[in-house]
Amino acid sequence: MSQKIIIDADPGIVDALAVLVALADPSIDVMGLTAVSGSVSGVQATRNLHYLVGLADPLRHPRVGQSDIAESPADHIPAGMPLQQSLNGRMGLGEVDPLVPDLHNRRESPKLIVELVREHPQEIRIVTLGPLTNVAMAFDLDPDLPLLLNGLICLGGVTQHSGDVTPAAEFNMWSDPQAARAVMRSPVGKIIVPLDVSNDPGLTFDDIDRLSGLIPSTPVGEFVIGLLQFAVRANRQFLPREEVPIPAAAALAIAAHATKFMTETVALDVETTGELTAGMTIADRRPFRPRQTNAEVITQIDVPSVIDYFCRGLRRIAVSFDGRS
């Protein structure tokens, strides 16, 4: 039986590619895609998700949850950091302008999460690729929801290394630390995929050249190639790495049981205030800690299997116009 998931995302380039991989994976049943404000505004995230579903045209269309938040936390990144628009394009999808028709039967992301989980109790796992705003709001709407989920896989936080948006904080936790704290303190079972390991899987520029040559020139394929090539140019210009990191692929591969990994059980919390520490994830490893453990933090992941899963998924979704092969 395929794993039922909801993907909560703020799709810039890598998140968008991960969504396409998920839609093409027969082992995953994507029940919902919920938009959250993060790398792009909530409004733009909604448009991007609708565009991806329309482009891929999967056999079973997931329901899409909207966000009306017109601002993005990325607009307030500290000076000196690469802007998300520089890395992902003005609307998040490289040079693509994701035009979508006027949306009907709109459903707010937190409400859609509650509806889907209530319809399928103990069956749905949420994979969060952006800030935890929607999950925290869903838990506020329905306090029983954490116990009705089949768990969370949260891409975010940093427990061993420096952060990416500040020395102490990773972007997803920094964007909405109050929501992150609420989710960490909830009773839901959760796997945290921190920056320490999520940035390990990456595609070198040579990898992307080879992959582009293997992807057929269908509309979906041309879109995928365009995103990958935009990411190469942006990373070459703004980041010191000679590769494109694919952190969303790590979280998705874990959800799909497509990679091996190791975890550490910790008591995890998120700092909500402080000029230097807001959004910092605190993993309490003391033997006599005052709080119970509440999270499994990924400490190691099989990088080659993540890359293989991601690349095979991109080729699969691009095989035909509608992505159904």
- Predicted confidence (pLDDT) per residue in 8-58, tens digit: 999 999 999 999 999 999 999 999 999 999 999 999 999 999 999 999 988
Q: Give the domain ranges of the chain.
A: 3-318
Q: What value does the mean pLDDT take over residues 153-158?
A: 98
- Checking if the pLDDT of 84 tops 60, the result is yes
- Checking if the pLDDT of 105 tops 80, the result is no
Total residue length of the chain:
325
**CATH code of the domain made up of 3-318:** 3.90.245.10
Share of the chain above pLDDT 90, in %: 78
Q: What value does the mean pLDDT take over residues 81-108?
A: 83
Q: φ and ψ at 125, to 5 degrees?
A: -115, 135
Asked if 217 and 98 touch (Cβ cutoff 8 Å), the reply is no
The per-residue pLDDT for range 171-193, each reduced to its tens digit, is 999 999 999 999 999 999 999 99
**CA 122 – CA 324 distance, rounded (Å):** 28
The per-residue pLDDT for range 113-142, each reduced to its tens digit, is 999 999 999 999 999 999 999 999 999 999
Q: Which residue has the higher pLDDT, 69 or 321?
A: 69
Residue 322: the pLDDT is 47
Least confident of 81-90, 173-182, 213-222, 258-267: 81-90
pTM of the model: 0.95
Buried b (16+ CB within 10 A) or exposed e, 223-259: bbbbbbbbbbebbeeeeeeebbbbbbbbbbbbbbebb
Residue 146: the pLDDT is 97
Residue 76: the pLDDT is 83
What average pLDDT does the structure give for the chain?
Answer: 92
Q: What value does the mean pLDDT take over residues 104-117?
A: 92
**CA 58 – CA 54 distance, rounded (Å):** 8
